[in-house]
Chains A and B, each alone.
Chain A
Amino acid sequence: MELLAIFFSVMIVNNFILAKFLGLCPFLGVSRDLRSAACMGLAVMFVMTAASGVTWAVNDHVLKPCGVMYLQTIVFILVIATLVQFVELVIKKLSPVLQRVLGIYLPLITTNCAVLGVCLLNIKSDMSLVESVVHGFGGGAGFALVICMMAGIRERLDIARVPPAMQGIPISFIVGCLMALSFMGFQGLFAG
Chain B
Amino acid sequence: MSVGEELIRGIFKENPVFRLVLGICPTLAVTTSLANALGMGLAAAFVLLGSNVAISLLRGIIPAKVRIPAFIVIISTFVTIIDLMMAAFMPNLHSALGIFIPLIVVNCIIMGRAEAFASKAPVGPAIVDALGMGMGFTLALALIGSVRELFGNGTLLGFSVPGLDAMPVIILILPPGAFLTMGLLLGLFNFIAQKRGP
Contacts and interface: CB of A to CB of B under 8 A. Distances in A.
Interface string A132-145: 00000000000000
Interface stretch (A33-41, A54-62, A98-106, A174-182): A174-182
Contacts of A121: 99
A90 interface: no
A81 B72 contact: yes
B161 interface: no
Given A72-B102, A73-B80, A177 B108 contact: no
Interface stretch (A1-9, A45-53, A112-120): A112-120
Secondary structure class of chain B's binding surface, majority of residues: helix
Interface string B93-130: 00000110011011110010000000000000000000
A170 B187 contact: yes
Contacts of B6: none
A170 to B, nearest CB: 4
Contacts of A113: 25, 103, 106-107
Contact of B25 (A22, A77, A78, A166): A22
A2 B79 CA distance: 34
Interface stretch (B55-63, B148-156, B173-181): B173-181
A183 to B, nearest CB: 9
Interface of A: 18-25, 28, 70-74, 77-78, 81, 111-113, 116-117, 120-121, 124, 163-166, 169-174, 176-178, 180-181, 184
14 contacts: A18-B176, A19-B175, A73-B76, A73-B79, A73-B83, A73-B105, A77-B76, A77-B106, A78-B72, A116-B102, A116-B103, A177-B177, A177-B183, A178-B176
Top 10 A-B residue pairs of the complex, sorted by shortest distance between their CB atoms: A173-B183, A177-B179, A165-B191, A21-B29, A180-B176, A176-B179, A170-B187, A170-B186, A177-B180, A165-B190
